[in-house]
Structure formats: structure tokens, C-alpha cells
Structure 1
């Protein structure tokens, strides 16, 4: 799908990945609609990229519908917004479960439902779902996040099959740990200093480039991750239990526990 001259709605646009996506699309002459909760951050980004802001709380069910109404017809939807609630499953308050399900899974589903109707009528369009490597590999202390990202990934591929005959593309992006964005910026625990960043992480700009490439070439799925993580993801497709054992062997589970416990202690268990 040709990007220049199209209109894109980006949720979670006030975060690091959302900002990078907005900049990458705007650089390709896409009109960007920036949705999120932080109006000040959205306003600054809108001034930079020439976009329009839509303040929306995707944790509120009516908020999703209102956002889509304000956006109007769009050519591209990037369902990027998400929350991460690290904890042992027995420690999740019920309202946190509801929030994660609403923001990570229900909101993208509703967005797809509403956008696809207009895209089918137009005979063109593209929907991008931001899943995660957590949608392919079980991660310690992230059962709730895993559930929503696995679910979103499955939904995306099924919707892709449904919409292909109508000329509407669907892609799913699966980032690994993203430096300078998301939970890693709030976590007191990181990989050892002697491990190069390129080995354990990717940048927001690399995710943004993947989004542009997915829309331009109608790619079903792109994993934005270093090769060791891609290897574990492939292994998980064959044997989730083996992937979990490998994470324990290399100490990845200890890092995951440390990240979760550290965020909880800081009072930022839901991001």
C-alpha cells in the first residue's frame, strides 16, 4: 500500500514507540492522528509532525468508540497502545486484569471492527496490531501480558485472512525489549552492563521502520528482536515448556522476576 497521501490513526502516540511511529509515517507524507491520554505530550508531537491529536482513554469502553468517531475515515490504523502489569498471577487485583484486557485486547478488536467496515467499503486500508515477543514466548511474571499479546496476535492473523479478499491488509508487529521506551525505562533491573544493548534490545525507531514496511508491503508479521530472542520465539512455537527451561538456564527468568518486583516496589506495576 502506498503511504504518501494517506491518513493514519496511531494509539499510544505519547509513548516512545508511538512517537517513533508517528515520526516515521509523517516523514513518508502520511497525515497522522495522534491518540493518547497525555495531551501535553501529544500536542508537542503534533506540532513537530503536523498531526492532529485525539485524547482518549482506551481503558474506558466508550472511549474507544469516541476516539474512532473523532478520527473519522482513516486509511491506516496502528493499534499501538498497551499496558504491562508484571506480577505473580495470584497478586493481580481484579481491576488490573480488567484494564489489561480492555486496553491490550478489547480496544484493538473494537478499533478493527469499526475501521474495517469503512476500509472494506473503500476497497483499501491497513490495520497494524502491536503484539510482542510476549505474544510468542511465555515470560515469567507476565502471564496477564502474555495472555493479551498471544490473543491479539491470534486475532490479527485471523482478521488478516478475513479481510484479504476485500483489499484490506493486516499486520502484526512483535517487538522484544525496546530500549528508551516502555517498561525498560521504568525498571530498576537491566541485563548485565557487559551485554551489548544490540544483543538484548531494539530501538523505537526499528519498530517504526517495521510498521512502515509492514504497511507498504502487506507483511503478515514482523518480529523486531535480536537473533537470540527470535531463536527462543521459534523454539517456543515447537515447545513452550522447552523455551521456559531455556530462559531459566540463561537466567532470563531471574531478570523478569527482578523487573516485576522492582516495578511493584516503585508503585508502577501497571504501565
Structure 2
């Protein structure tokens, strides 16, 4: 395992849920962490938590659908913390509904945030990683990147694409000191799960407890993952230099193989 103490990480979508958990887990490993997302009060709060762990930190607003902002992000981090050693592409969005009712704007937005933005941030960070001979990229994908999701075509397609990007880039970067991997959570105790529960309850007349049970019924563990459990997998991928091109499931056994 590599030591990552003193290195610099950039975590997108870092204001809550999985992104927050990863940012704090990396800080506990001794890393300095930049947190980026659209909601400033949330990333400011996470930065305060990182600082309380004794690490240098930075928070800045970032809309990952803004290509110019993505291209500037590595230099924003470098100016305060140093060059980005670890990039965690966690920002994401989802939409639901049958394909025959999907509008162009919804499809384009999901692909822009979940697939194009990670590619653009990788492209922006890689030259400096290659120059230093060290880099770690962790893409937060989903089990939806391995299987189809009914009424989730845009989300599933974007996450399948993110895994393809991960594997191709891992091959490009393998001899340059850079590893590229993905974590694939299933339902996790985040706002996305809360929103799904509320939507199902509203659409079906079920209670939220009944809707939640229906969502998690197929999970062998019978529960959602915790953000901190996803973060543990991400930290492993950052620390182990021999693992690249992999998609690690954190899904309670929902998808095997």
C-alpha cells in the first residue's frame, strides 16, 4: 500500500453523502482535500470538518456541467493546496421515466454530469499527474453501470459509459504512475435514496417504510450501504498501486461478477 499522507485530493460532489464521506476518509489518511460542489454551505461545512482533522483544505463552487469551470478546477486547487494527486469524480445526477417519454434536455443533462464531466476533469488533471509520475483517479459509478435499470436509461447509460472510460483510461495511464478505478454502489443512505422512497410513496400510496422495503427487497443484506462503507472502498483504491481498471461493488451482493 502506498502512503498518501500529505498528498492533495479533489472531490467533486463533496458536500454530502458519498462525496463527504470520501473527503473525510481521505483526510483521516493524512491527505489535504479540496471539496467542490454547487451548494456552498454544504462544502464549506465539509471543509471545516477536514480542517478539524488537521488537514489543509479548500472549498469552491463547481457546476460540473460548466466545461470552462472544469478546465480551471485543477489550477484552483493547485494555487492553494498544490497539484491534484487524487481525483474523485463523485458529482452525479439521475432522472427517471420511460425512454419514450424522455426529453432531450434530461438525457443531455445526465450524460453531461455523469460521463462528460468526469472525462473533462480527468483530461485537465492528467498532464500534471503524468509529469509527476503519480496519480489516482476514482470514479463513483454505480451497479447501474453493470446492469440495466428499468426507467433509468439515462442514468444507467451514463454509468456504463463511466466504467468504459475508467477501463480505457486505466490502460493509457498504467505505465505513467496513474491508476484509474471505479466504485459501484447500489442504494446508499443518501439523499438519492430518500428522494426515491418519497417518489415511490407518492406514486403508489404506500407508506415511506413500505416503499423503502420494496427498494431494498432484492438486496441480499437487506439494507442500503452507508456512505462510509463506499468511502472505505475508495480509500483502498487510492492506496493500492497495483489495482487499476477495476470496478469495486459496494452493493450488499446485489450484483456478483
**TM-score for the superposition, normalised by structure 1:** 0.80
Runs of 4+ in 1 over 4 A off after TM superposition: 192-197
Answering whether residue 251 of structure 2 is matched by residue 225 of structure 1, we say: yes
Structure 1 portions without partners, runs of 5+? 235-271
Answering whether residue 157 of structure 2 is matched by residue 147 of structure 1, we say: yes
CA contact (8 A) 2:163 2:182 kept: yes
Counterpart among 59, 62, 76 of residue 65 in structure 2: 59
* Whole-Å separation in 2 of the counterparts to 1:163 and 1:192: 42
Task: Show the counterpart of 2:33.
Answer: 32
* Whole-Å separation in 2 of the counterparts to 1:34 and 1:111: 14
Alpha-carbon distance, 1:67 to partner: 2.2
* Whole-Å separation in 1 of the counterparts to 2:220 and 2:13: 24
* Whole-Å separation in 1 of the counterparts to 2:112 and 2:191: 18
Task: Show the counterpart of 1:109.
Answer: 119
Higher alpha-carbon deviation: 16-25 or 190-199: 190-199
* Whole-Å separation in 1 of the counterparts to 2:63 and 2:134: 28
Q: Which runs of structure 2 are paired with 1:3-18 in the superposition (5 Å)?
A: 3-18=4-19
Task: Show the counterpart of 1:190.
Answer: 212
* Whole-Å separation in 1 of the counterparts to 2:130 and 2:168: 16
| Number of residue pairs matched by the alignment | 230
Alpha-carbon distance, 1:63 to partner: 2.2
* Whole-Å separation in 2 of the counterparts to 1:62 and 1:125: 22
Instruction: Indicate the RMSD between aligned Cα atoms, in angstroms.
Output: 1.8
- Call closer, same or farther: CA 1:194–1:169 in 2, change over 3 Å: closer
Q: Which runs of structure 2 are paired with 1:120-135 in the superposition (5 Å)?
A: 120-135=130-145
Structure 2 portions without partners, runs of 5+? 52-56, 199-210
* Whole-Å separation in 2 of the counterparts to 1:64 and 1:178: 27
* Whole-Å separation in 2 of the counterparts to 1:194 and 1:128: 26
- Per-residue CA deviation, residues 2-41 of structure 1 (Å, 9 max, x unaligned), is 2211100000001211110111111111100000001011
Task: Show the counterpart of 2:230.
Answer: 207
**TM-score for the superposition, normalised by structure 2:** 0.85
Task: Show the counterpart of 1:71.
Answer: 77
* Whole-Å separation in 1 of the counterparts to 2:43 and 2:230: 19
Task: Show the counterpart of 2:128.
Answer: 118
CA contact (8 A) 1:105 1:148 kept: yes
- Call closer, same or farther: CA 1:32–1:193 in 2, change over 3 Å: closer
Alpha-carbon distance, 1:43 to partner: 0.8
Task: Show the counterpart of 1:242.
Answer: none
Task: Show the counterpart of 2:170.
Answer: 160
